[in-house]
Structures are given as C-alpha cells and as structure tokens.
A = this chain, B = another copy of it.
Amino acid sequence: MSTEESSSGEGPAKAGRQEDRPRKGDPRKGAPRRTRMSGAARREEIVRAATEVFAERGYQGASTDEIARRSGITPPVLYEHFDSKLDLYRSLLERHFADLRQVWLGNFTGEDPPQLRVARSFDAWFSYIEEHPFAGRMLFRDTSGDPEVAAVHDEVAGASRAAILPLFATQPGAEKVAGSVSGEGLEMVWVVLRGVLQGLAIWWSKNPQVSRERVVATAMNSLWIGFERVFEGEGWQPPPGSGAAQLDQPG
C-alpha cells in the first residue's frame, strides 16, 4: 500500500470527498477510481469490456455506461479513446475479423489435399472461437436493425469475405454446389458455410461440454462430405416431371 493519500491536511471545503472508501455496495459511485492507467492500457481494457458487452447484448442493447463501468472508468473517458459508440464497435469488428481472416489464410492454403485443408481450417477456426468466446459471439450477431450499424458490419465482414472466398473458388467442382463459382453461386456457398459455422459456434458457446473435435466433425460431416460428392458430379436433381404438383405446400 503506497502513500496514505495526499488529500490529508486541509479539510475539504464543500463536499466531503474521501478517497479511500471501503467500497462496499455500489462499485461505481462509492469507490473513487484512483487506479490510473496509461492511455494504451486503459484502451485495451475498454476493448476487452466492450467486446464482452456487445457479445452479450448486441449493438443496440449495449450501453456505453455499462461498457465504461466494466472498463473501470466513467463514460467521458471512453470518448477520449473512441469518437462514438459506432467507432468503438467498428474498431472491435476490424480487430476480430482480422484475427479470423488470419486463421483462414494460415490454414486453408497449401499443397495438402482439400479435405485436410478444410478440416484444419475448421479446427483452427473453432479453436479461435474457443479461446475468444466473446469475440465470436460479437461478430456473428445480427446487426441489421440499425442501417448505419449494418453498413459498418457489412463493410468489415465483406472485407473478410473478399479475402477468404477466392480460396474456395479454386476448388475443382465447387461450381456444382450452387450452380456456379461466380456471383450468386459462390455467394450461396459462402452463406451455407457461414450459416453452419456460426450456428455451431453460437450453439457451442452455450454447450461448452462438447469437445471441439466433435463440433469440427459435425461441421465436416455437414459440409465437406456433401460438397465433395457434389464436386464429383453427384449433385441432387429435382425429381423429373414433378415440379409444382408434388412440391406444393399445404394450405
């Protein structure tokens, strides 16, 4: 314990502000935050807390007051590090998406057989999710409620997609999954992949007792096994001559 506190001596004229309170009760108001950090360290603390809160409550549900509280500061300090809530959100997205992009680029490329590269990528991807649960849950949230937020999310996520998608396009036979490897077809492959991985990641975060190996195996069984057979030309065909009649939904 360092110096008692420097405010000894003169009695406070107006308000009796004591610095070393036994911070029982409310941790925000009762305890004066005399834990001063360097700017960089505090900024990291904000990033960590904000990832947590955004993961738990989504963009709209996360309050800057709550983020500040979990960072050990009051709201004004937050705005000395980030211009706005949206600016903070964007910088988190960029950081975490960059991490995941590296996971793909570092594992999917190479000369190994496709199945091995896919399995390796999935495993590395779920490893990242395992080690950064809040990051995963934050990234995969639906943000389309607020157009401005959705634009930021689409922009950052789109940059990752643009970096990763070409890896798949070179897979021979990939065009058979969704009709083509360019434009809509490739986009649909991406949608399916993302749907499965994100769905499993969110489910896994609520069922952590399941091993990563099992989650990866489920993803492989769902995606790769089917895709591989489609690559070889065994794709599903609609039953001939049975268009509308059979496929109509009941009233």
Contacts and interface: CB of A to CB of B under 8 A. Distances in A.
Interface string A79-105: 000000000000000000000001100
Nearest to A187: B203
Interface string A196-223: 1111100100010010011111111111
A223 B177 CA distance: 11
Nearest to A106: B250
Contacts of A116: 239, 246
A133 interface: no
Contacts of A145: 57-58, 60-62, 141
A176 B218 CA distance: 9
Given A141-B142, A188-B203, A120 B246 contact: yes
Given A119-B239, A177-B221, A249-B107, A200 B196 contact: no
A238 interface: yes
A111 interface: no
B200 A249 contact: no
A194 interface: yes
Contact of A119 (B141, B191, B215, B236): B236
A192 interface: yes
Given A187-B207, A222-B226, A225-B236, 5 more contacts: A57-B146, A142-B142, A178-B214, A194-B199, A221-B226
Interface of A: 57-58, 60-62, 102-103, 106-107, 115-116, 119-120, 123-124, 127-128, 141-142, 144-146, 176-179, 184, 187-189, 191-192, 194-200, 203, 207, 210, 213-227, 229-230, 234-236, 238-239, 246-250
26 contacts: A57-B145, A58-B60, A58-B144, A115-B236, A116-B246, A119-B239, A120-B246, A120-B247, A123-B249, A124-B248, A124-B249, A178-B221, A188-B203, A188-B210, A195-B195, A213-B238, A216-B238, A217-B236, A221-B226, A221-B236, A222-B223, A222-B227, A223-B226, A224-B236, A225-B229, A225-B236
